[in-house]
Amino acid sequence: MTEFKSVVCPICGCLCDDLEITVENNEIVKMKNGCAVCEAKMVYGYKSEERILKPMIRKDGKLVPVTMDEAIHKAAQILVDAKYPLLYGWSSSTNEAQRIGVELAEELGSTLDNCASICHGPSVMATQEIGIPTATLGQIRHRADLIVYWACNPWTSHPRHVERYTAFTEGRFEKSEWKNYMLKLKGETGKKKIEAASKRLGQYSPPPRPQVCMVDAPPKSIQKMGRKMIVVDVRKTKTAEAADYFLQVEPNKDYEIFSALRCLVNDQELDIDKVGGVPVDYLKDVADAMINCEFGAIFFGLGLTQSLGRFRNIEVAIALTRDLNRRTKFVISPMRGHFNVTGANIVFAWQTGYPYAIDFSQGYPQYNPGEFTINDLLRRGDNDATLVISSDPGAHFPKSSMQNMMKHPLITINPDMNAISRLGDVVFPAQWCGIEYSGTAYRMDSVPIPLKKVVEPPPGILNDQELLERILNEVRAIKAQKTEVQTKVKGEVRSAAKTVKKTAKRTKRKVA
């Protein structure tokens, strides 16, 4: 039995690094401190029965196990033959593997994209338009007295975010308010239980909802001293239930609401009295709470990045944060999803200058989301081969994208038989990053944290870095061979042409 302390959880962007793990017979048997999501992967998920144990190649429509060398050669051959391959994934892999990934893309002259493309890529783009006033999570824990979760639900997506970094934590300058929030949650749960019970008894009639306005007026408590939490979302989530104030907005109206808030913060009067279903008077109270806090923090999620307006939504959110900084201290931070999607952006940026949506076809990196992002490429059917690593577009992408992807060879690198691996032509097994091999990952606030290896991987399986290195070497070998053959062929052609000319001359002479 071995015990590991300060193990890092390789699931979400929080990268909680205080797990205590007990390993027996090369199996994780106990885990302390982690959330439910963490437990699902660290204790059960990684032992999945769907684990791929051998590399496979599709032959006559069926996946057949082959040797590692054969699979690597086949994959390299596909990538070299393709005119415009695409490498995608990276967010559940280590920095070390991502570095090799960039080198491989450069060697191939391919496009290179990571999962930010379908989650917080718009946040990155907004940062490029307007910058971002942000802070590490610890800074927010120590100082923030107003926390705004906008279009995200950390209670289910980043379960320990509230507990480790925001409202429930104790910082140097801010006290924890967890007791109040827990009481509130208990109250809400109780209310729901009573409602459900009376519904069963047939005595329940839902309280009449005001037709005009779905939104409750802000309570006085959002102006108080000490920690406050406001949630803005289109539906009442568990996070919203705990919050001091839940501001329910109409879908796809975030841009308008941010704009209205900006006007209010900048002391401008509005001509209209309602924005996105919210009375302007309510927004005035929210703006006041934002101005009057000592240190405010906005966290936003995919509800902003992937709804109407995409990166412009983030841009206006950042613009609001900038305006607020003229009145108080305010920061804003994206709730990055996969544990190392931030790392993918960072590694790509230091090697190429660009965070994602990169194209190497011209021999140098080019960047343009919308042109080189995976779904745009696939929708147009631009690529003629795909390599997917540590990601599952098969489960998440639109049908039109997947149909175009399936027209061409597909290479996958994933630990278990997920949707995309089932579709692959060359299927590689992989180790679980952060469980079976170590490396570095970047937390959602760009803090690097070393992942730990706690169990041994199944025999014969390479980690992402080793596998990519071998594919890269094979690609180089094939390319070198090709140029050799080409020069040879060229030489032969030339000598053949010479002989043809000579014979022609000779015949001419003869004819003469």
Partner 1 sequence: MAEILVKNGFVVDPTNKIDGEKMDIAIKDGKIVKKVNERKAKIIDASGLTVMAGGVDIHSHIAGAEVNMGRLIRPEDHYKDAVRKTKLTRSGTGYSIPSTFVTGYRYSTMGYTTVMNGSFAPLKAKHVHEELNDIPLLDKGTYPLLGDWWFVLENLAKGDIEECARHVAWMMQSTKGYAIKVVNPGGLESWGFGHNVHSIDDQVPNFCITPREIVRGLIKVDKMLNLPHTIHLHTNNLGQPGNYKTTLDTMRAIEDLSTDGKPVAHITHIQFASFAGDDWGKFRSGADEISKYINAHNHITLDMGQVIFTDTTTMTADGPFEYTLYTLSGHKWVNSDVETEASGGIIPFTYKKNNAVNAIQWSIGLEIALLVKDPWKIFMTTDHPNGGPFMSYPRVLAWLMSKKAREATLKRCHKKAQKKSLLPSIDRELSLYELAIVTRAGTAKALGMPNKGHLGVGADGDVAIFNINPETTDIAKKYKAVRKAFKESVYTIKDGKIVAKDGEVVDNTTPGRTMWVDVKTKQPCIINEEMKRKFREYWSIEYENYPVSDHYVKVSDKLTVEASV
Partner 2 sequence: MITLTPLRNFDVPVHASCINPDEFKSKTLKEIAELPVTEGNRNLTLSDLFKIEQDKTETPSITLNGDFKKVKRVGQGMKTGEIIINGNAGMHTGERMAGGKIVINGNADSWTGSEMKAGTIEIHGDAGDYLASPYRGSGTGVKGGYIIVDGSVGNEVGCYLKGGVIKIKGNAGIFLGYHMTDGAIYVEKQCSSRTGAAMTGGKIILAGTVTELMPSFTIDSIKPKVKVDATQSVAGPFYVFLGDLADHGTGKLFVSKTNNPQLAFYEKYL
Element (H, E) at 234: none
Smallest gap, in angstroms, from Cβ of residue 132 to partner 2? 13
Q: Tell me whether residue 162 or residue 357 sits nearer to partner 2 (CB atom).
A: 357
Phi, psi (degrees; rounded to nearest 5) at 257: -70, -40
Q: Which does 270 bind (CB under 5 to 8 A by kind): partner 1, partner 2, none?
A: partner 2
> Which run of H or E residues covers position 321?
helix 311-325
Place of tokens 């992807």: 405
442 binds, among partner 1, partner 2, none (CB under 5 to 8 A by kind): partner 1
Q: Does 103 bind partner 1 (CB under 8 A)?
A: yes
Give me the residues that bind partner 2 (CB under 8 A), please.
82-84, 108-110, 125, 128-129, 255-256, 259-260, 262-263, 266, 268-272, 275, 308-309, 312, 316, 319, 323, 360-362, 367-371, 381-384
3-state secondary structure (DSSP) of residue 36: helix
Least spacing, CB of residue 128 vs partner 1, in Å? 5
Query: Tokens 């070998």 map to which residue?
Result: 477
172 binds, among partner 2, partner 1, none (CB under 5 to 8 A by kind): partner 1
What would the two tokens of residue 148 be? 């705004």
Instruction: Tell me: does residue 173 bind partner 1 (CB under 8 A).
Output: yes
Judged by DSSP in three states, 324 sits in helix
Which one of partner 2, partner 1, none interacts with residue 259, CB within 5 to 8 A by kind? partner 2
Contact (Cβ atoms closer than 8 angstroms) between residue 312 and residue 255: yes
Q: Specify the residue for token string 């802070």.
A: 135
177 binds partner 1 (CB under 8 A): no
Q: Which does 260 bind (CB under 5 to 8 A by kind): partner 1, partner 2, none?
A: partner 2
Minimum CB distance to partner 1 smaller for 346 or for 406: 346
Binding-site size for partner 1 (CB under 8 A) equals 62
Minimum distance, C-beta of residue 262 to partner 2, in the bound complex (Å): 4
For residues 266 and 507, which CB has a smaller minimum distance to partner 2 in the complex?
266
Q: Shortest gap between Cβ of 101 and partner 1 (angstroms)?
A: 13
* Positions in 319-378 near partner 1 (CB under 8 A): 322, 325-326, 328-329, 331, 345-347, 349-355, 360, 362-367
Closest separation between CB of residue 107 and partner 1, Å? 8
Lookup result for tokens 């939504």: 313
Among positions 164, 253, 338, 470, the unique one binding partner 1 when judged by CB under 8 A = 164
Enumerate long-range contacts of 124-130, CB under 8 Å, 24 or more apart.
124/345, 124/355, 124/356, 125/311, 125/314, 125/369, 126/311, 126/312, 126/313, 126/314, 126/315, 126/317, 126/318, 127/314, 127/318, 129/311, 129/315, 130/315, 130/318, 130/319, 130/322
**CA gap 221, 226 in Å, rounded:** 10
The C-alpha R_g of the chain, in whole angstroms, comes to: 28
Q: Rounded to 5 degrees, what angle do the CA atoms 113, 12, 429 make?
A: 60
Work out how close the CB of 5 gets to partner 1 at its nearest, in angstroms, rounded to a whole number.
7
Region for residue 460 given its phi and psi (left: phi exceeds 0; alpha: psi -120 to 50; beta: otherwise): left
Say whether 371 sits in a helix, a strand or coil.
coil
| Footprint (CB under 8 A) of partner 1, residues 413-452 | 440, 442, 446-450
Chain positions contacting partner 1, by CB under 8 A: 5-6, 8, 17-18, 95, 99, 103, 106, 124, 127-139, 141-143, 164-165, 172-173, 294-295, 322, 325-326, 328-329, 331, 345-347, 349-355, 360, 362-367, 440, 442, 446-450
